[in-house]
Amino acid sequence: MGEVVGIPRALLYYHYYPMWKAFFESLGGTVVTSGETTRAILDAGIKVTVDEACLPVKVFHGHVLALAGKCDYVFVPRLVSVERRAFICPKFMGLPDMIRCNCSDAPRIIDSCINLSRTTREYVRAVLATGRMFTRSTLRILAAHRRGRAALTRYGRCLESGMTPDEAMAFMGVAPLSDELAQRAVAAASSTSGVARGGGGAANVVIGLVGHPYIIYDSFVSMNVIRRLREMGATVITADMLPWAVTEREAARFPKRVFWTIGRRLLGAGFHFLRSGTVHGCLHMSAFACGPESLIGDILEREAVRHRDVPFATITVDEHTGEAGVLTRLEAFVDVVTRRRKQ
């Protein structure tokens, strides 16, 4: 059976879960996740964090608390940097410290420090240190890491083919969903592909959705934005569905290299959506008071003014956001996009 590792279903779960799961399972561990975000999870997170913390961080705290009693360890990596000369967000760099100070009931924390900003040596050391909690064999750890990387590559290809993280994980058979949900997701993923997806509603438009993965893919936080857009008949493309080369190239149009990995990816995706003519509208969704996005959003807005043919809107969510408000805005946006397309 081995040790049970809990992975909170928040923040970069949406980018790395298949890798983390493969890694820990190869080392003989069992992986569990917290369920989808719920009001109760969010409330638990709000209770232990300071008001100023952003919504995703509060949600993450809630997920960690939800894992209490369900696992031996909870995986809260310190994701400092996942590429050269770039960071993710200061809050990711202090995440294990925040969890330790705020969640005294949390299980023991695995706080591997992932920092690729300067060298890979530190990363290798972090992987080995994490693996040593499960086995003494360096070879086994490296093999587990290789398996993790392979899973991540496959996952990336699934996303690029137009699947959302939930669909991709279901497709790969690693989804932490209940069986029924997983089957439904697989059916959805295999029956439709790329532009053909959508269909329910009247609109037949493609919408580029720009937003942090832990906002737009979290159905509670984003008020189900992707599903709702699809129900209105739109095909949704997110930054994760674009090849890295495209977003890097587009982001390089900005005079300074953006030093937030996700920020740069979103900026590149936004520029691509606005400039390439591949989408009919561009929707930007961000969390209230998100640091990087306060500037990235502004840059995108200024770019959007130069490309008036592609409608652009920003929706900001926080813990007080009501579903009706978001829905009204989404409907209005899709209406505008549809009308513009007919002209």
Q: Residues interacting with other proteins, by CB under 8 A?
A: 49-50, 52-54, 78, 80, 85-91, 93-94, 97-98, 101-102, 113, 254-256, 258-260, 288-295, 297-299, 302
226/262 with CB nearer other proteins? 262
53/168 with CB nearer other proteins? 53
110/237 with CB nearer other proteins? 110
34/49 with CB nearer other proteins? 49
Q: How near is the Cβ of 69 to other proteins at its closest, in Å?
A: 23
Q: How near is the Cβ of 60 to other proteins at its closest, in Å?
A: 12
Q: What share of the chain is helix, strand, coil (3-state, %, to 5)?
A: 50, 15, 35
29/45 with CB nearer other proteins? 45
CA 101 to chain centre: 25
Beta strands in 1-88 (DSSP E): 4-7, 30-33, 73-75, 78-81
Q: How near is the Cβ of 183 to other proteins at its closest, in Å?
A: 40
CA 19-296-219 angle, 5° bins: 50
Separation CA 307–CA 320 (nearest Å): 32
Separation CA 191–CA 151 (nearest Å): 23
Q: Is 304 exposed, middle or buried (0-12, 13-18, 19+ CB in 10 A)?
A: buried
Q: How near is the Cβ of 150 to other proteins at its closest, in Å?
A: 29
182/296 with CB nearer other proteins? 296
Q: How near is the Cβ of 27 to other proteins at its closest, in Å?
A: 25
Category of 11 on φ-ψ map: left (φ > 0), alpha (ψ -120 to 50) or beta: left
Q: How near is the Cβ of 233 to other proteins at its closest, in Å?
A: 32
3-class SS at 63?
helix
177/295 with CB nearer other proteins? 295
CB burial string 197-220: b at 16+ within 10 A, e below: bbeebebebbbbbbbbbbbbbbbe
Separation CA 297–CA 284 (nearest Å): 8
Q: How near is the Cβ of 127 to other proteins at its closest, in Å?
A: 17
Of the candidates 36, 13, 12, 32, the one whose C-alpha atom is nearest the C-alpha of residue 24 is: 32
